[in-house]
Structure 1
Amino acid sequence: MENEVKNQSDLQSIFDANRKKRRRKNNLIAVSFLSPWLLGFFGFVLGPMLYSLYLSFTSYSMLTAPSWVGLDNYIRIFTNDNLFWLSLRVTLLFVVVATPLRLAFALTVAIIMNTGHKGSGFYTLIYYVPSIIGGSVAIAVIWRQIWGRDGALNEILGWFGFEANYNWFSHPDFAIWVLIFLIVWQFGSPMVIFLAGLRQIPQELYEAASVDGANKIHKFFKITMPLITPVLFFNLIFQMINSFMTFTQAFLVTEGGPINRTLFYALYLYREAFTNFRMGYASALAWILLIVIGTCTWLVFKSSKKWVYYESEGGK
């Protein structure tokens, strides 16, 4: 009996050793496949982030070694930098206006594309193109031509009897709206995501609603909107973050003018880093932007409990 127990114990030990060996082998294989991503993450994401955090507490111009200044950069930002508050205010206005408009246009076009008419796939591709090329130099040049003093917009207004002679992107009251329209025009990316969400809604729900006498408006607010709120939530987070980081359009079209009316936060950060060569100060600005975006994202997540519907949870 003792020998039998000993043999069973030896077999169990051999089995456990082989299982641990296979587990280590599988872990090594998994790490080998993950290694390119891990190297990229630590080398190009986490490493630069931590270094920029260090630089935010220093005075650094790229021409001399960083010198530790503690909280001086942050104190100066909040107490003695009017452009910081101006750029933050301009960016918040842009986010609050451009993000809902972009999502509204994207959802409207997605609903139209979801009708299943012939050629809808081709039109979906056409509407998606602006999202790909919207940040290019060529589009910026075209946009400046459209909204310029002798541009297409003034020409069209002239056809209707309006003597418009504005250089729209150089006008303090209109420049921000030029950029908002440019961002809204690039609604292809959220549109494709909305379209995918709409196609997941069971048609039986619409048929049952039709039997009960529901019209299109009732179907939209009682069926479509509740069932695509998870998609809307995703698009809202994604587009809000993108709006906070808007840089290319302002840099190419308005260059932050006129009189800093389109000085977006990212553009101001760029100027401090690569025009004024205040890398330490720009790093502090970058971390403040990260905190602002994180706070806004957290608020959206908290509010989602009241308006996002998950079918698997049986409600909101």
Structure 2
Amino acid sequence: MFDYKGFSAQEVEELCASKYIQRYCIRSMYNPSEIYSQGYYFRQYAQFPYFLPLMVFSEHGIEFGHVGHKEIENDAYAMLVFSDYKKINYQKASKKICYKVLHPLIWYRRNNIEQSPLAKGTLAFPSHSTSKNDCIFDIEKYIQELKSLPLDMQPVCVSLHISDIKKGQHLEFIKHGIPVYTAGNPADYRYGERFYNILKNFKYGTSNLVGSYAYFCVEMGIPFSLFGQESKYINTSGDRIYDGDYKVREGYQIAENVFSGIHKHITNEQKEHVEKNIGTNPDLSRNEMKTLFYRAFLKKGLTPRVFFYIIKYLLFKYIFRCKL
């Protein structure tokens, strides 16, 4: 039974540690297509073998229609997106083949996970840092805001991203009595299952920044509230080509208007907005997705480097019986 007490600091850190990662496929060709369990569920959906690479590029989450430079500057066979809005913007920026598809975690959720009938409280997703930026906000003030949520939205727990756990943010929440959870390292194929096995136990979701988690919450029937201490992003990468802060994007501003405030029920506007951004009514059927993946492999994957990765994968998995 879920106890709402959170993980210990050691458990949180171990879930994010590289040495505990379990992989399911050969080396990733295009990272966004594989992280957060996306490649794992793409393959399950399309019945595509794990020992062959995905030679397609995909959004790594809900990108609010923004087209990043890495989504254009790659040699993948095709681009996969989760909304018509993103597809239109992408086709303006690139001549690469582009398809709208159902978000793979949504497909997994609909076939495997339901909200617990005993769900209670609120799961908060504090706006998170990445390898290229720091996310700055007053954590102590945010904690007090979470504790001020109405009694029927308590207890409040947080789900933290690996980038902030590496910076010790989990210790701050634990110190102030806020239970901490994490789905762990995004490179681990179990990430999606872990994420939903946490989320399903909560009645409400919240964050101080709209992210993919907002869409995952609402799609599952969990009201989401954009609430609390505003965050600020600072580029720490030195990368001249930087995709910047979510908040300046037109698509994000639309989402901000949809989710702002405390919500104990999902509005029609929120439901419609989410459905438009998770790949509902995809361009490809399951068989067509399978065909796409094989075509992409034949067009882009017949190289010595890829064959080396395939042989290495098969040897380690089936001959040496190693965990990948």
- When normalised by structure 1's length, the TM-score is 0.22
Structure having the higher helix fraction is 1
Structure having the higher strand fraction is 2
Which one has the largest radius of gyration?
1
